[in-house]
Amino acid sequence: MPGSSGSAAVTRSTLRQQIADALRDEVLAGRLQPGQEFTVKEIAEQYGVSATPVREALVDLSAQGLLEADQHRGFRVHEYSADDYRGIIEARALVTDGMFRALEEGRRGYQQPGDPRIAAALAGVRRRGEEAQRAAGAGDLTVLIGYDLRFWRELASLFGNPYLADFLHRLRVQSWVCAVQHLRQLTDLRGELWSGHTELVDALSARDTGAARSVIAAYNSHSLSLIERLAP
């Protein structure tokens, strides 16, 4: 039947992404612990699917640094150190600084300062930031991560480079996976989590890259000192 193999490939690809997303969320929620091992068969049985999309999803997560593959024992959740986190923060800072330079030079999505589409998009990003701030203030880590990832993904997309946005998203997922492994030690996270999202949006709306850089520098310093305090 024409197109049947293509339909099967699409279905498998969709399953692959759904399983990868579900497992990533399990790691971020702390339900899959650092060093925890599992096999393709175990995950396939858990989700009631065939082994092929599961294996592909696990390979994808390994390539993103969330899992480690062991030829004989399956996969395990990657354990991050404070040094790993420091490296991720440095890489993240380089990407955001590149986006700020694009804004300064009038490149990409910010080339028209008064573009109403940019203003409308920034308003949406700001709403995401407000939700992230509320979750941070309440110490609700799971809700914060969801809104924070959406906030940064939507913000990065405004700079017009999908490769850069995708790379930053991967770095942010990695940084959260690393941070979660330490933050889950605390029973009360109120007052511990960064909540400067709207301040950053306001600086970018005003095209004040100096203020935006200051917000990011304070954010990175806060995050790093928190993880270094909690890491063994």
pLDDT of residue 104: 83
CATH code that applies to domain 82-230: 1.20.120.530
7-21, 27-41, 53-67, 147-161, range with the lowest pLDDT: 7-21
Residue owning tokens 């999309």: 53
Structure confidence by residue, pLDDT tens digits, 26-54: 999 888 889 999 999 999 999 999 999 99
Closest residue by Cα to residue 19 from 11, 148, 147: 11
**At 69, phi and psi to the nearest 5?**
-95, 135
Alpha carbon distance, N-terminus to C-terminus of the chain? 58
Instruction: Give the pLDDT confidence score for residue 184 in this predicted structure.
Output: 86
- pLDDT at res. 109: 56
- pLDDT grade, residue 87 (50/70/90)? very high
- State how far the Cα of 88 lies from the Cα of 66, in Å rounded to an integer: 13
Residue 11: which pLDDT band, with cuts at 50, 70 and 90?
Answer: low
Predicted local distance difference test score (pLDDT) of residue 93 = 95
Does residue 107 or residue 37 have the better pLDDT? 37
- pLDDT exceeds cutoff 80 at 222: yes
pLDDT above 90 (res 159): no
pLDDT at residue 107 is higher than 70 = no
Q: How many CB atoms within 10 Å of residue 202?
A: 17
Contact between residue 88 and residue 171 where contact means Cβ atoms under 8 Å apart: yes
Hey, what are 220's tokens?
């990175």
H/E stretch holding 68 reads strand 67-70
> Which of 99, 152, 165, 92 minimizes the C-alpha distance to 126?
152
Domain boundaries, the chain: 4-77, 82-230
What tokens does 122 get?
Answer: 């920034």
Q: Of 1.10.10.10, 3.40.1550.10, 2.40.10.330, 3.30.200.20, which CATH number belongs to 4-77?
A: 1.10.10.10
Q: Is the pLDDT of residue 9 over 60?
A: no
* Six-digit token string for 86: 């420091």
